[in-house]
Structure 1
Amino acid sequence: MTVEIPSVQKAQRSERIDIGDGLVMRWSTRDDADNIADCMALAFRWSAIGEPVAEDEDPAPNPWVKAAVKRVLSGNCPVMTEFDYAVVENTLSMNGQNPIVACASLHGVPGFYGEKVSMLFGKPEAISSHPDYRSKGLIRKLLFELIHPASAARGDVIQIIPGIPYYYHQFGYEYAIGSRSSRSIDDLTTKLPDLMSKDALLPASLAAEPFTLRVPTLEDIPYLCKLSTREAQKAQAQVGLDYGEPFWRYIIHGIFEIQESIYDTTRVTRIIVDAKSGKDCGLVMGEGAPKTELMMFTLEEGYHYREALYPVLRQFVLEGEELLVFALTQAAEHEENEAKEKVEDNDAMEGEQALGPATAVLTALAAAASADIPPVRPILLDLDPDHPITKLLESKSTADDQKNARLYTRIPSYANFILKVAPSLEHRLAQSPLAGITATLQFDFFRRVEGSAGRGLEVVIKDGRIISARDDFVPLTHEELMLAARTRKALAKAEGRPDNKKPTVFTIQFAPLSFTRLLVGDLSIDEMIYFYSDTTVSGGDDAKLMLATLFPKAKEQFQCDMFWW
């Protein structure tokens, strides 16, 4: 299965839409990066993205969000370019005012559906509006007039958003794809004393570890790709992301080329080495700041997770801590130098005010380093629930509060989606008791709503192959069905033959947009019937078996890697 790569937008799109009051919708260029980043940082100033906000704090614009937006607008992000941010510009803004008052970016994320299909997920991301411009319909306009049309034009059959509660329902999105649940260990020194003990942290002990970690280079990308497949990660998801060459090139190289602040030094990727033989034998990847997050841990065949767990995790945590300390030290030194320059420029009062906090940070960091204080930050395990590491640390960790979180999911045309993922659906059929079946599936969604192409769907299957799917299907009324049956019987009688040409037709009813949850494996057909009273399946035992076969419930949900930020 070849991983799909999004086509790169190489120039600014031409759309420029006047929406009145001096506001214009258009697509971005790199010149907009600072203004878009400032708009996003202001909008997310009260958000806990990056670091928690204290109750008595009046936070500044969010620096983690600002750095993330600058990264994706740098021109070397693999899922978007500097021309993929849709913005609302206030053309009447005064000097010193930010002209960008609302924005939404469009990512193209390579992923998979089932065993046979590689596809792109359209991902509207990093969406915000200035507080003074909210509740004016600007995000709706950006989505429906720029983002969604651009996503459809490049062939996306699905969009996902990890957004704020309820908000995106109004734009045709349904909670469907479940985010991978995670587990956390709140204090490594107490929960895992053997991991972070003083003896284990001594240089001699670290030097004797059976596994060591090394920084990957560009030459290691094929190896990283090999160890980040679903099979290598022991992932069970039927819908998720592909970690290919663009991902790894960006993560181990690209982000460091454009690093501007401490908030860009977050991802830690290391190759695991067998210390005895010197052979590369695994991969560990995750976040080092502001919290330690383990997102990938894979070993070659012949190596045991139980033996590698503590040596690898100990070094991974320490490298994340060193990365954070290094970044904070750099920031403090930068602030201290700027403060000294102000003193030299005879702006003594302002310089002394800035110098104090910077010097305090450097002093505290130096004291921590000299005291050899082991890290006590929590660690988040963002791995498959049945991954060996998750199981080994299950009793030491607690389940994430957001274990039932789902991504907003929009499938604008069910027919286009079915045809795109047909190879995986046909593969499931071929492995089932219904192999080789010929049947027609007729779906009634009661009414067409925002986010859907029609009120019905018809899928024709012949000899186990999907030969057509259309959104313009209009379910027949009971009267029309009865009259069609009479016509068929009358024709058989006139031809002197038995009525044995009755086609196999399965009729299904779903509430508008709820079919999305079955399509992506969020709910089984039995759960759909249980949770949605308007779900009905007609056509005998084979009808229900058909739906269960085509759309099985996924045991493990989608991992949405926020590196795209």
Structure 2
Amino acid sequence: MSIELPSSTLNRTLASGLQLRQATLQDRQAVVEFVSHWLHEALGINVFDLMSGNHPTTQASDFAIITDPAAGDQIVATAGLIGHTWSYEELPFGVGTPEFVATHKDYRRRGLMSAVMEALHQISKNNGQLVQAVNGIPNFYRQFDYEYALDGDNQRAFRLGNGALVIPDTSAYLVRRAQVEDIPALLSIYVRQRKGRLITNVMDEKRWRFDLTGHSAGSDIKMRHYSVLSGDGQIVGYFKLWGDEDDPHGNVIINEFGVIDEDRLVPIMQAVVKALAETTLQAALPDALARITLALGRAHRAYNVMQRQLVPIGRPTSWYLRVPDLVAFVTHILPVLNRRLARSMYSSVSRAVVISLYKEALTLKIEAGQVVNAANMPMGDVDEDTISAWFPPLVFLKLLFGYRALDELLYAYPDVQVNEADADLVNVLFPKQESWMIYLG
């Protein structure tokens, strides 16, 4: 739940005389119209839902706006913060994702978005969120201390038409629109899909219900949910299609796909593709290059078992992450670090691991194979001989979130260094590991 901020923190007058403040429900229509005009109507519809008071994680006060008193208090800049729960090896933590970043063209290049982002970060902190994340404009968010540090998407596509795709008989499975009554079964399959990944979305039945029934028509985040049933009526899989109607250009995007049993992945995927191929070709314009795109994260077993039929689409994407209080986050995930130590040859070690971030150091105190404390230390107080590894501050996030292995960072960054005697221990604490993120609105 969002917390109203003190006026000195958020509701303030900027140097230009413009007013920065937290939005209220009464601002909803104005924010919707502003976002629709300066970004896209589908985004405005999403904002309408987020500010309605009916969203499971977000409300009007999670938006910041700047108004101009000299222009009738019209909105001249805004952005919103969508709340999420992610997990770090099944350990949940709060995340805020800044979205709908927009400025009136006559007010750009005045630093207004810096003030808005500062407000969103404060809202996120007061909401108890340890991390902020963005899947957005290349390079832009680095100015706000974000760094690419988490797996994004890696799209593959089936080409349709002219006999490009031959699919065997799939009559053993039925594909239909998902119903509210399906949610417990779908959620069970979803939880199974998360296993083995480092960072994933945590979704409960309330969140699933909203995604299935709560988004308004035309919203950029509205998806079509489908269940896959076996001959005896059991739900054995599900998938989600981006958008609430068929694309006349013939591009259907599956952005989530799960099965109850990995051994059935191929026949279930074939049943899904066959059903979609028929409707996609019917809905597409005559000259459309029809295809079914899989947007299932950086890695998915479907990419491997069906690779001969799939064509890569673009480059893999990544998420920006911002961790304003590194010690707080590392302290939160100590149970995970301790499980890693317990499974390793360091299960009884007692010592300190010192990670230099050049201006300060992150110190992990280990006693009998368990990290008992994480703390910051000014570099002036650190004995150089005790340092285990060196990272530029934001680069360390790539290791922390399993996005890159230590050896990869050593290769890519001359200012990443490691004490060879500690390299294995650092690798045990922070291994490279696949993550799977779903974009939720």
- Using the size of structure 2 for normalisation, the TM-score is 0.88
The aligned counterpart of 1:470 is: 375
For the pair 1:180 / 2:153, whether they are aligned, the reply is: yes
Gaps of 5+ in 1: 1-7, 45-61, 326-364, 448-454, 483-504
The aligned counterpart of 2:326 is: 414
- Which residue of the other structure, out of 421, 425, 428, is the alignment partner of 1:546? 425
Q: CA deviation at 1:120?
A: 1.5
Gaps of 5+ in 2: none
Q: CA deviation at 1:105?
A: 0.9
The aligned counterpart of 1:382 is: 295
For the pair 1:273 / 2:229, whether they are aligned, the reply is: yes
Quick check: 2:236–2:260 contact (8 Å CA) kept in 1? yes
The aligned counterpart of 2:403 is: 522
The aligned counterpart of 1:9 is: 2
Quick check: 1:111–1:119 contact (8 Å CA) kept in 2? yes
For the pair 1:28 / 2:23, whether they are aligned, the reply is: yes
CA deviations on 1:53-100 (whole Å, 9 max, x unpaired) are xxxxxxxxx222222222222222223112211111122224xxx811
Quick check: 2:298–2:436 contact (8 Å CA) kept in 1? no
CA distance in 1, matches of 2:163, 2:207: 33
For the pair 1:122 / 2:96, whether they are aligned, the reply is: yes
- Which residue of the other structure, out of 78, 85, 99, is the alignment partner of 1:110? 85
Q: CA deviation at 1:111?
A: 1.0
Change (3 A) 1:209 1:537: same
Quick check: 1:419–1:466 contact (8 Å CA) kept in 2? no
* Percent of matched pairs sharing the same residue: 23
Amino acid paired to 1:383: L
CA distance in 2, matches of 1:410, 1:148: 10
Amino acid paired to 2:84: V
Quick check: 1:159–1:409 contact (8 Å CA) kept in 2? yes
Change (3 A) 1:377 1:79: farther
User: Higher strand fraction: Structure 1 or Structure 2?
Assistant: 2
Q: CA deviation at 1:113?
A: 0.8
Quick check: 2:363–2:374 contact (8 Å CA) kept in 1? yes
For 1:163, what is the secondary structure of its paired residue?
A: coil
CA deviations on 1:364-396 (whole Å, 9 max, x unpaired) are x9xx8xxxx898633221225653432343222
CA deviations on 1:502-536 (whole Å, 9 max, x unpaired) are xxx55322123211111011211112222221222
Alignment of 1:103-502 (within 5 A): 103-114=78-89, 116-144=90-118, 146-185=119-158, 187-190=159-162, 192-194=164-166, 209-229=171-191, 232-233=192-193, 236-255=196-215, 259=216, 261-263=217-219, 266-274=222-230, 276-288=231-243, 289=245, 290=247, 291-301=251-261, 304-316=264-276, 377-383=290-296, 387-403=300-316, 405-447=317-359, 455-476=360-381
Quick check: 1:287–1:320 contact (8 Å CA) kept in 2? no
Higher deviation after alignment, 168-177 or 19-28: 19-28
Change (3 A) 1:321 1:438: farther
Runs of 4+ residues deviating >6 angstroms? 10-13, 319-322
Change (3 A) 1:141 1:266: closer
Quick check: 1:444–1:510 contact (8 Å CA) kept in 2? yes
For 1:189, what is the secondary structure of its paired residue?
A: coil
- Which residue of the other structure, out of 399, 413, 422, is the alignment partner of 1:532? 413
CA distance in 2, matches of 1:281, 1:477: 56
Structure 1 vs Structure 2 CA RMSD: 2.9
Q: CA deviation at 1:217?
A: 3.0
CA deviations on 1:251-278 (whole Å, 9 max, x unpaired) are 11212xxx2x44469411112111x322
Amino acid paired to 1:526: D
- Using the size of structure 1 for normalisation, the TM-score is 0.70
Amino acid paired to 1:516: L
Q: Which has the larger radius of gyration?
A: 1
Change (3 A) 1:383 1:191: farther
Change (3 A) 1:12 1:249: farther
Quick check: 1:157–1:411 contact (8 Å CA) kept in 2? yes
Change (3 A) 1:321 1:429: farther
User: How many residues matched?
Assistant: 434
CA deviations on 1:215-250 (whole Å, 9 max, x unpaired) are 333333221210101xx3276531121232232111
Change (3 A) 1:189 1:549: same
- Which residue of the other structure, out of 29, 35, 38, is the alignment partner of 1:40? 35
Change (3 A) 1:10 1:411: closer
CA distance in 2, matches of 1:512, 1:392: 39
Quick check: 1:419–1:468 contact (8 Å CA) kept in 2? yes
